C-alpha cells in the first residue's frame, strides 16, 4: 500500500493549534514566527513582538541568564536543550514562568515554551509547607507523635525523648500505651481510638512514667489525618508535660483557701478594685469599718464613701497603682454608715497581669482615727513644749545677762577693796564675797551652756587640736587646787596625734573632769591624765584614787543638779559639770564614758576622732 501523502496533516496546523509557546528565531535573535499561543497565554500578537529584542519581554532578573542560554544555543551543537526556565512578561504587566526546549537547525532556532507557573507555585508551597512542618517537628517544645489505627507509633519528634526519657527512635513501631499509668490506661486508650472515629480534636490528661521511674502528668491533644477518600489512616498527637502546672494548680488551690481564710479573718479591710475604682471584692472586716454589709459595697465606686475633699488624693493614688505599677499608700477620710467620718490609711498594689496592663488591684485599709488623734495631740504637745523651751531659753538668756552684770560689779568691787585694805578680817570677808561671786558666776555660765545645748544653739568650731599642749596647760591650771588638798597630778603617756575638737570646749571639759577628780579624791590621793589611740580615735582618760561611785548611782551621774547625795559632805558643786561635759563632748562628735569601783576610784574617758586633713 502506498503512502497517501495527501492524508498527512499539515505541519502548520500543529504549529498554530499548539497550546505551548512556539517560536522561530534567526541567529541574530530576530523573531521570525510565533504561534497564537503567545497571544492566548501572554497577550502578545506577532506584530507586537516583531523587531523587538526578545530580552525586552523577559523579567529583568532573568535577562542575563536568558542571553547566556541563547548564546549556548547559537554556539553549541545542534541538539535540543531542555529545562531552561525564565519569566516572560505578559501584556498586562504580569509575568508567567516558562520552561523552554530549544533546537538550532540549519541556521534556525526553534523553541517550545511550556507555562509552568502554577505547577512551580504549587511545588514552592509544597516545599515551604514541608519545610515548615519539618521545622515545627524538630523545634517543637512539645512532643509530637504520629500513630496508626493500631496505636503504633510511626513517627515522634525529638522533644519526645526529653519528655518521656526514652530514645526517639526506640519508640517507633511500638505502642504508646505502655508508658501510661495503669490507672489511666483504659480511658486514654479509649480517647485515642475515638480520635479515629470523629473529625474533632481530642484532649486528654493522664499520668505516665518517665524512663527514670518518676511520675509525670501529661496533656495530649490529637486529631486524625485523613486520606483523600476521607478515611482516617493516622493521627497526630501533641503532648505537653504539665507536671509543674498540675502541682502549681494544687498549690494554687491551697493558697486560694489560705487567702480566703486571711480575707475572712483579717482585722483590716481588704478590697479588690478595678481601674475605675469599682469594688470587685471586699472582706468581712470592711463592714465593721464602714458599717455597710460587704454585699452592698460590691459593684459600687470606692469614691462613694470618701470625703469630698479627699477624693482627689484617692484618685491620684489609684492612677499611681495602675499606671506606674507600684505600691501606693494614701491617707483619707471615709464615711461610716452612721454618719461620722473615719480616718483611714490604705495601701494598694496592682495585681500582676502577665505583662499586660493591670486590670485589678488589692487595697488594704486600716482605721487610724485614734492614731491620728494621738498624733494631733502629740503635735500640740510638741508645739507647746517648743514654745516653753523657747521661752525658757529667752528667760535664761535674759536672766544670765541681768545676773552677770551686777555680779561682775560685785566681784570687781570686792577685788578693788581687797587691793586697798590691809585689815585681815576685812580681807577675809572680801575673799568670801569674791569666791561666792565667782562660784555664782560659774553656776550661771554652766546653766546658760546647758540651756544652749538643750535648745541646739551651742556652737562648736572643730579643728585640729594638739593634746599634749592642751593637757599640760589644764594640769598647770589645776595644780594649785590639787596641792591645796595634798594631791599629786600626773601626766602619763600623751600621744602626738591631733584630735578633731573645739579647743575651748575641750579645755572646759578637761578642767571640769580634773576639778571633780580633785574634789572627790581622798587626802594624799593621785590624779592621772593619759591618752591612747584606738583605731581612728583618741581616748583621754582622767583617773582618780577617790572613793568611787556605787553602781546604783550610775544612772544618775549625768543628770543636771543631781549631786548623788554628796550635798552633806561640804564639797562645793552644782551638779551641772558632768551633764555639761557630756553634752559638749557629744556636740564635738565624741563620747564621754566612765568606770568606777567603790573604794578604789573612778576613771572618766573622753573619746574623740583623730583629725584627718582633707
Q: Which three three-digit cell numbers place residue 383? A: 508645739
Give yes or no for a contact between 202 and 222, defined as CB atoms under 8 angstroms apart: yes
Three-state SS letters, 399-412: HHHHHHHHHHHHHH
Q: Say whether both 450 and 476 belong to one domain.
A: no
Domain that includes residue 433, residue range: 374-454
Specify if 254 maps to a domain. Answer: no
Digit-coded pLDDT (tens) for 269-320: 888 888 888 888 888 877 777 888 877 778 888 888 889 899 899 999 998 8
Cβ atoms within 10 Å, residue 613: 5
Which of 454, 488, 520 is the last residue in one of the domains? 454
d(CA 586, CA 259): 51
Q: Say whether both 96 and 192 belong to one domain.
A: no
Digit-coded pLDDT (tens) for 158-169: 777 777 777 766
Percentage of residues in the chain having pLDDT higher than 90: 14
Q: Say whether both 341 and 387 belong to one domain.
A: no
pLDDT (0 to 100) of residue 33: 86
CB burial of residue 176 (10 Å; 0-12, 13-18, 19+) = buried
Specify if 98 maps to a domain. Answer: yes
Q: Say whether both 552 and 482 belong to one domain.
A: yes
DSSP reduced 3-state for 353: coil
Residue closest to 42 by CA, chosen among 74, 83, 86, 75: 86
DSSP class per residue in 145-180: EEEETT-BEEEE-THHHHHH-S-HHHHTTSBSSTTB
Task: Report the range of poorest mean pLDDT among 72-86, 113-127, 382-396, 564-578.
Answer: 564-578
In the predicted model, what is the mean pLDDT of residues 489-513? Answer: 89
What dihedral angle (degrees, nearest 10) is formed by the CA atoms of 551, 555, 557, 562? Answer: -110
Count of domains in the chain? 5
Q: Say whether both 395 and 336 belong to one domain.
A: no
Q: Say whether both 524 and 582 belong to one domain.
A: yes
pLDDT (0 to 100) of residue 437: 67
Q: Say whether both 508 and 406 belong to one domain.
A: no
Give the pLDDT band (50/70/90) at residue 96: very high
Digit-coded pLDDT (tens) for 439-470: 566 666 666 665 665 555 567 789 999 999 89
Which of 306, 334, 365 is the last residue in one of the domains? 365
What CATH number did the domain enclosing 98 receive?
3.30.450.20
Q: Say whether both 159 and 233 belong to one domain.
A: yes
Q: Is the pLDDT of residue 590 over 80?
A: yes
Digit-coded pLDDT (tens) for 375-394: 888 888 777 766 766 655 55
CB under 8 A, 24+ apart: contacts of 519-524: 519/571, 519/572, 519/573, 520/544, 520/546, 520/547, 520/566, 520/571, 520/602, 521/485, 521/487, 521/545, 521/546, 521/601, 522/546, 522/547, 523/485, 523/486, 523/487, 524/486, 524/487
Helices (H) and strands (E) in the chain, counts: 17, 22
Phi, psi at 153, each rounded to 5°: -75, 120
Specify if 252 maps to a domain. Answer: no
Q: Say whether both 31 and 147 belong to one domain.
A: no
Q: Say whether both 154 and 241 belong to one domain.
A: yes
d(CA 572, CA 281): 75
What CATH number did the domain enclosing 599 receive?
3.30.565.10
Give yes or no for a contact between 446 and 388, defined as CB atoms under 8 angstroms apart: no
pLDDT (0 to 100) of residue 390: 62
Q: Say whether both 353 and 380 belong to one domain.
A: no
d(CA 416, CA 404): 18
Give the pLDDT band (50/70/90) at residue 248: low
Give yes or no for a contact between 144 and 234, defined as CB atoms under 8 angstroms apart: no
Which of 117, 152, 169 is the last residue in one of the domains? 117
What CATH number did the domain enclosing 412 receive?
1.10.287.130
Q: Tell me which residue has cell 583629725.
A: 611
Digit-coded pLDDT (tens) for 407-447: 676 777 777 777 877 888 877 887 767 766 665 666 666 66
Specify if 553 maps to a domain. Answer: yes
Q: Is the pLDDT of residue 519 over 70?
A: yes
pLDDT (0 to 100) of residue 1: 44
Kindly provide the b/e burial profile for residues 137-158, where b requires at least 16 CB atoms within 10 angstroms of the residue's own CB: beeeebbbbbbeeebebeebbe
Write down the pTM of the prediction.
0.36
Specify if 408 maps to a domain. Answer: yes
pLDDT (0 to 100) of residue 18: 84
DSSP 254: H
Specify if 131 maps to a domain. Answer: no
Percentage of residues in the chain having pLDDT higher than 70: 81
Q: Say whether both 77 and 50 belong to one domain.
A: yes
Give yes or no for a contact between 282 and 294, defined as CB atoms under 8 angstroms apart: yes
Specify if 128 maps to a domain. Answer: no
In the predicted model, what is the mean pLDDT of residues 507-519? Answer: 88
Give yes or no for a contact between 18 and 29, defined as CB atoms under 8 angstroms apart: no
Digit-coded pLDDT (tens) for 177-225: 888 888 988 988 898 889 888 888 888 888 888 888 888 888 888 888 8
Going along 314-443, which residue ranges are E strands? Answer: 328-335, 341-350, 360-367
Q: Is the pLDDT of residue 529 over 70?
A: yes
Specify if 511 maps to a domain. Answer: yes
Amino acid at each position: 500500500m502506498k503512502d497517501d501523502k495527501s492524508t498527512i496533516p499539515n505541519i502548520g496546523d500543529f504549529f498554530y493549534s499548539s497550546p505551548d509557546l512556539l517560536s522561530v528565531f534567526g541567529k541574530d535573535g530576530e523573531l521570525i514566527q510565533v504561534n497564537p499561543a503567545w497571544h492566548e497565554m501572554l497577550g502578545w500578537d506577532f506584530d507586537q513582538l516583531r523587531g523587538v529584542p526578545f530580552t525586552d519581554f523577559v523579567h529583568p532578573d532573568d535577562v542575563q541568564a536568558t542571553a547566556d542560554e541563547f548564546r549556548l544555543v547559537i554556539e553549541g551543537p545542534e541538539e535540543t536543550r531542555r529545562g531552561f526556565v525564565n519569566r516572560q512578561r505578559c501584556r498586562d504587566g504580569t509575568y508567567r514562568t516558562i520552561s523552554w526546549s530549544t533546537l538550532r537547525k540549519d541556521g534556525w532556532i526553534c523553541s517550545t515554551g511550556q507555562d509552568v507557573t502554577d505547577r512551580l507555585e504549587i511545588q514552592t508551597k509544597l516545599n515551604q509547607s514541608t519545610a515548615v512542618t519539618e521545622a515545627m517537628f524538630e523545634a517543637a517544645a512539645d512532643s509530637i507523635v504520629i500513630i496508626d489505627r493500631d496505636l503504633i507509633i510511626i513517627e515522634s519528634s525529638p522533644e519526645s525523648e526529653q519528655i518521656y526519657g526514652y530514645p526517639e527512635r526506640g519508640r517507633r513501631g511500638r505502642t504508646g500505651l505502655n508508658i501510661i499509668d495503669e490507672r489511666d490506661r483504659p480511658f486514654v486508650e479509649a480517647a485515642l481510638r475515638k480520635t479515629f472515629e470523629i473529625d474533632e480534636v481530642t484532649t486528654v490528661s493522664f499520668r505516665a512514667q518517665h524512663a527514670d521511674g518518676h511520675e509525670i502528668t501529661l496533656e495530649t491533644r490529637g486529631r486524625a489525618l485523613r486520606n483523600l477518600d476521607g478515611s482516617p489512616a493516622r493521627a497526630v498527637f501533641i503532648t505537653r508535660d504539665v507536671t509543674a502546672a498540675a502541682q502549681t494548680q494544687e498549690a494554687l488551690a491551697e493558697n486560694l483557701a489560705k487567702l480566703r481564710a486571711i480575707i475572712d479573718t483579717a482585722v483590716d479591710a481588704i478590697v479588690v478594685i478595678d481601674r475605675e475604682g469599682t469594688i470587685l471584692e471586699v472582706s468581712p472586716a470592711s463592714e465593721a469599718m464602714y458599717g455597710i454589709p460587704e454585699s452592698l459595697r460590691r459593684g459600687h465606686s470606692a469614691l462613694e464613701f470618701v470625703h469630698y475633699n479627699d477624693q482627689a488624693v484617692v484618685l491620684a493614688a489609684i492612677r499611681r497603682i495602675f499606671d506606674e505599677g507600684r505600691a501606693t499608700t494614701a491617707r483619707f477620710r471615709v464615711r461610716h454608715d452612721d454618719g461620722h467620718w473615719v480616718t483611714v490609711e490604705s495601701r494598694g498594689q496592682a495585681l500582676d497581669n502577665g505583662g499586660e496592663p493591670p486590670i485589678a488591684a488589692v487595697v488594704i485599709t486600716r482605721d487610724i482615727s485614734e492614731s491620728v488623734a494621738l498624733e494631733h495631740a502629740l503635735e500640740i504637745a510638741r508645739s507647746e513644749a517648743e514654745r516653753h523651751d523657747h521661752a525658757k531659753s529667752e528667760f535664761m538668756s535674759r536672766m544670765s545677762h541681768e545676773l552677770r552684770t551686777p555680779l561682775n560689779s560685785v566681784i570687781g568691787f570686792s577685788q578693788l577693796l581687797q587691793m586697798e585694805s590691809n585689815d585681815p578680817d576685812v580681807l577675809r570677808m572680801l575673799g568670801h564675797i569674791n569666791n561666792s561671786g565667782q562660784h555664782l558666776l560659774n553656776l550661771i555660765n554652766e546653766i546658760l551652756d546647758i540651756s544652749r545645748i538643750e535648745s541646739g544653739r551651742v556652737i562648736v568650731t572643730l579643728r585640729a587640736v594638739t593634746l599634749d599642749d592642751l593637757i599640760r596647760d589644764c594640769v598647770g591650771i589645776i595644780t594649785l587646787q590639787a596641792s591645796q588638798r595634798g594631791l599629786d597630778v600626773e601626766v602619763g603617756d600623751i600621744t602626738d596625734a591631733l584630735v578633731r575638737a573645739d579647743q575651748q570646749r575641750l579645755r572646759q571639759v578637761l578642767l571640769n573632769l580634773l576639778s571633780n577628780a580633785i574634789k572627790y579624791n581622798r587626802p594624799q590621793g593621785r590624779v592621772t591624765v593619759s591618752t591612747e589611740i584606738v583605731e581612728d580615735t583618741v581616748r583621754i582618760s582622767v583617773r582618780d584614787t577617790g572613793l568611787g561611785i556605787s553602781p546604783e548611782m550610775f544612772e544618775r551621774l549625768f543628770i543636771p543638779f543631781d549631786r548623788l547625795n554628796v550635798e552633806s559632805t561640804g564639797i562645793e558643786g552644782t551638779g551641772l559639770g558632768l551633764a555639761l561635759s557630756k553634752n559638749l563632748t557629744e556636740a564635738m562628735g565624741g563620747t564621754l564614758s566612765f568606770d568606777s569601783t567603790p573604794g578604789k576610784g573612778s576613771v572618766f574617758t573622753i573619746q574623740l576622732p583623730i583629725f584627718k586633713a582633707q
